[in-house]
Amino acid sequence: MPPRLRKPRPASGAEPVTGFEEVVPGSGSEAPVPVVANASTEQEYAVQPEPGSNQKRKRAAKAPVSMEPKKARLEPTASMRATPAQNNLKDSIREGLILISIGLNPGIMTGKTGHAYAHPSNRYWPTLYASGITPVQHKPAETHSLMDMYGIGHTNIIPNLATIGGNDLTKEDYMAGAKVLDEKIEQLRPQAVMIVGKGIWEEWFRYKKGRKMTKKDGFEYGWQDPDLWIGKKEGEWEGARSFVVTTTSGLSSSHTKEERIAIWKPMGDWFTPKRDEWIKKREEQKEQAAEG
């Protein structure tokens, strides 16, 4: 039988006992043998009660909390990145569009197929439909067709680099991508842009403000402050109205389906009448062309 530890009771007027005593089974009187306390830690071990005793068990104290500072997260660099994957995705953007959807960068399947949000686990196309932005659920292969159908374009903040996820992207990638994106939107001047993911907006914020976005900045999904509208050119153009929605990546579980659709829905409400007008004009143009 292994020895049991118990804390001896000090005699009246004696100094408090800080150590434990070892009770040696089979020693007859089971005389206590002093045990030296471990001075390297303040952790107190649980004392096992003797069989049949009513003594309550003592809970072990928590181990001391380390006061060492946490190591900073290692930022990826271009030299650390794996060989870039195949990327056949091209921007589907042009002048005169109502809305341009802005993603992060092409994933492996998107880069291979050349279709936006091509991975089956990505919820972009179902959410585009469920929020009312499109009247039917489209397939990734229809990415480029949406420009003619509804006036919807697609691009990414880092369009030319296909990776498995965002962990391979560097600060330099984001800053260079944000600059090019700003120039694209300023040149094409859509009515609005939809940023698909808070993380993309955070990188845009850092590009515009020169610092990270914090809780004090009070971020909320939806329409953003006009001072941060993408493509804005002082004295010439106010920029494209900028609306931030949740990411649709299958790797993210930050929101439920219902929460995601609720965040996207205001964009659908804003876009639907403009889309219907677009479709009407397109049909009229077809009729005129047929008559002429």
Burial of residue 198 (CB within 10 Å: 0-12, 13-18, 19+) is: middle
Residues 187-199, mean pLDDT to the nearest whole number: 98
Give the lowest-confidence range in 149-158, 218-227, 247-256. 247-256
pLDDT value of position 53: 45
Question: Tokens 């005699």 appear where?
Answer: 11
C-alpha closest to that of 170 among 252, 221, 105, 91: 105
129-143 mean pLDDT: 98
> Percent of the chain at pLDDT above 70?
71
Distance of CA 161 to the CA centre of its chain: 19
The pLDDT assigned to 68 comes to 53
β-pair partners for 92: 154
Mean of pLDDT over the chain: 82
Average pLDDT rounded to a whole number, residues 22-35: 45
251 band by pLDDT with thresholds 50, 70 and 90: confident
Chain segment 253-289, per-residue pLDDT in tens: 789 999 999 999 999 999 999 999 999 999 999 998 8
Least confident of 24-38, 65-79, 185-199: 24-38
The answer, yes or no, to whether residue 96 has pLDDT greater than 90, is yes
**Residues found in the chain:** 292
Residues 6+ apart with CB under 8 A from 224: 201, 242, 243, 244
pLDDT at site 11:
52
Which segment of 143-147, 172-176, 227-231, 286-290 scores lowest on mean pLDDT?
286-290
Q: Which domains does the chain have, with CATH numbers?
A: 1-63 (no CATH), 87-291 (3.40.470.10)
Per 3-state DSSP, what percentage of the chain is helix, strand, and coil (rounded to 5)? 35, 15, 55
pTM over 0.85: no
Per-residue pLDDT at 95:
98
pLDDT digits over 38-92, tens only?
433 333 334 444 444 444 444 444 545 555 555 444 455 554 455 667 899 999 9
Residue 250 has a pLDDT of: 83
Nearest Cα residue to 99 out of 197, 195, 202:
195
Contact 275, 225 (CB under 8 A): no
Q: Report the alpha-carbon distance of residue 232 to residue 140 in Å, rounded.
A: 30
